[in-house]
Amino acid sequence: MRNNPFIPFHVPSIGEEEVREVEATLRSGWLTTGPRTAQFEKEFGAYVRAPHAIAVNSCTAGLHVAFAALGIGRGDEVITTPLTFCSTVHTILHVGAKPVMADIGADGNIDPEEIARAITPRTRAIVPVHFGGLPCEMKAIWALARKHGLFVIEDAAHAAGTHYQGRPIGMSEDGEDASDAVAFSFYATKNMTTGEGGMITTPRESLAARMRMLSLHGMNRDAWKRYSERGNWHYEVVDTGFKYNLTDLQSALGIQQLRKLDSFIETRTYYAKIYNQVLAGMEEVELPADAPRSRHAWHLYVLRLNLNMLNIDRGEFIEELRRRGVGSSVHFIPIPLHPYFARMPVAQRPCPRALKLYPRIVSLPLYPAMTEEQVRYVADSVKDILMSHKRDGRVLLHEAG
C-alpha cells in the first residue's frame, strides 16, 4: 500500500551522549553498581524531588522490594487495577499476599470509589498504576489510605516525568501527602530507558535503607562502598535479599536519558495533540483522556474504537494498520483474562469496565524517534481505516435480516 518503511510500535531514542557515557563506563574499570549508579540515583531523586532513590534492575524488582521491605505478606490483601502489566500482580503474589482488583474509571485509571469498595480488614496496601502516563487521582487514594491505615505503592512504570497537580510523580520532599514508595521503569519502550532498569523512590529514610539492602543480597555494605573504603572487604548478610541492583553500564544510559526526559515528553505531547486534532470529531473513536491540571507524560496513546459504528473488530483494525505499514499494540489484556490469573482469587472481584473496554483499545505508535511526518501518516491511516469501515444502515439491515 505504500513504499515507506514500516513504522514500528516503538523505537528508543539513543544519542551519541548515551554511547559516549557507556563507552566511558566500559573504560572506567567499574561495570556493576558503583559511582554512575550513585550519580543516577542522586539525579533522578532530584528530578522527581524525592529524598531517596534506589536504582534497581526493573520496575518489577522495585515493586517486589517495596512490598517485601514494607512487610506485606501472607494473609494481606493488596488492591490494584485490572488494566496493568502482569508484574504488578506477580510481585504481590511473590510476597505471598492476595491481589484484589478494583475496576477502572472512565479515564482508564483505577477508580478510587472502587478501591473504597474493595477494602477489607485484610487490606494492607493500594497499588495505583498511572496508565499510559496519565496520573491517578492520588488525593482520593491518599485519603483512603490515611483513613484505613494502608500503604500506597505507585506503579509509575509509565509515569517518569508525569506531574500530578503540579508535583512530579515520586515527589515527597515538601511534607505534602506522598506515597510510601514509587516504582519507575526504564524498560526499552518506556519514557526513558536503560535497556532494562528501574528506580524506586520514597520519602522514608529507614524504608530506603531497607529496600537498598534487600535489592543487593540482604548485604549491609555494597561492593562499591567496600572498594571506596580502600578494600575494606567486610560485609554481613542481614536478610533474605534479592539480586536487583542496577549496573553502572545501565546507569550510564539513565544519566543521559534523564537529561532528555522533559524534551521527550514535550515531543510526545506535541504528537499526541496531532493525533487528537486529526481524529477529533470522528464518532468511530474515542480519544484518550487528559488531565488539565497535571502533566500527562503521554507514554501511550490509547485509542478506543466505537465498535458498534464499525464493521471491523479491533483485530482487523490492527491488521489494516499493519497493511498500511504501521505497528501498534494493546495495553493491556486485563489481568482476569490471563489463564493463570483467571484460576486464582484475583478474578473474584468483577471488573466489568475493564473487560468492556478491552476489545476496543489500540495503542498507536508514539515516541520521540518518530518524525512528525510519520505521526501524520499514522493519524491519516487511522482516519482512512475508520472511514472505509463505517458500519452503515445497509449493513445493520443485512445483519438484522
Ligand X SMILES: *Cc1c(COP(=O)(O)O)cnc(C)c1O
Q: Minimal distance in Å, beta carbon 158 to ligand X?
A: 6
One of 33, 172, 185, 194 touching ligand X (CB under 6 A): 185
Distance CA 72, CA 123 (A): 10
Q: Minimal distance in Å, beta carbon 260 to ligand X?
A: 19
Distance CA 195, CA 40 (A): 15
Comparison of 155 and 248: residue with beta carbon closer to ligand X: 155
Q: Minimal distance in Å, beta carbon 232 to ligand X?
A: 33
302 touches ligand X (CB under 6 A): no
59 touches ligand X (CB under 6 A): yes
164 touches ligand X (CB under 6 A): no
Comparison of 62 and 325: residue with beta carbon closer to ligand X: 62
Select from 116, 383, 65 the least CA-distant residue to 55. 65
Q: How many CA atoms lie within 13 A of 79 on its CB side?
A: 30
Comparison of 129 and 379: residue with beta carbon closer to ligand X: 129
One of 187, 224, 298, 367 touching ligand X (CB under 6 A): 187
Taking CB under 6 A as the binding criterion, the range among 55-63, 227-235, 373-381, 390-398 that sits at the site for ligand X is 55-63
Distance CA 184, CA 56 (A): 9
Q: Are strands 285-286 and 301-305 parallel, antiparallel or unpaired?
A: antiparallel
Q: How far is CA 174 from the centre of its chain?
A: 24
88 touches ligand X (CB under 6 A): yes
CA distances from 251 to 14, 25, 177, 180 (A): 14, 9, 29, 24
60 touches ligand X (CB under 6 A): yes
What is the DSSP track for 50-119? -SEEEEES-HHHHHHHHHHHTT--TT-EEEE-SSS-HHHHHHHHHTT-EEEE--B-TTSSBPHHHHHHH-
Q: Minimal distance in Å, beta carbon 188 to ligand X?
A: 9
Nearest-10 Cα torsion for 389, 275, 85, 191: 150
The answer for 170, left when phi > 0, alpha when psi is -120 to 50, beta otherwise, is left
Residues in contact with 248: Cβ distance below 8 Å, sequence separation at least 6, in sequence order: 25, 28, 30, 31, 32, 33, 34, 35, 36, 37
109 touches ligand X (CB under 6 A): no
Comparison of 157 and 379: residue with beta carbon closer to ligand X: 157
Distance CA 118, CA 141 (A): 13
Q: Give the footprint of ligand X on residues 191-230 (CB under 6 A).
A: 198
Q: Minimal distance in Å, beta carbon 86 to ligand X?
A: 8
One of 25, 80, 84, 294 touching ligand X (CB under 6 A): 84
Whether residue 190 lies in the annotated active site? yes
Select from 195, 192, 196, 198 the least CA-distant residue to 260. 192
**Which grid cell is 189?**
519502550
Q: Minimal distance in Å, beta carbon 84 to ligand X?
A: 5
| Residue 185, helix vs strand vs coil | strand
Comparison of 37 and 60: residue with beta carbon closer to ligand X: 60
Taking CB under 6 A as the binding criterion, the range among 83-91, 266-274, 290-298, 339-347 that sits at the site for ligand X is 83-91
One of 111, 155, 180, 248 touching ligand X (CB under 6 A): 155
Length of the chain counted residue by residue: 401
Q: Minimal distance in Å, beta carbon 165 to ligand X?
A: 21
**Which grid cell is 16?**
551519541
One of 33, 37, 58, 251 touching ligand X (CB under 6 A): 58
Determine which one of 190, 260, 273, 383 is catalytic.
Answer: 190
Comparison of 91 and 381: residue with beta carbon closer to ligand X: 91
363 touches ligand X (CB under 6 A): no
Which stretches of the chain bind ligand X, using CB under 6 A? 58-60, 84-85, 87-88, 129, 155, 157-158, 185, 187, 198
**Catalytic residue annotation:** 190
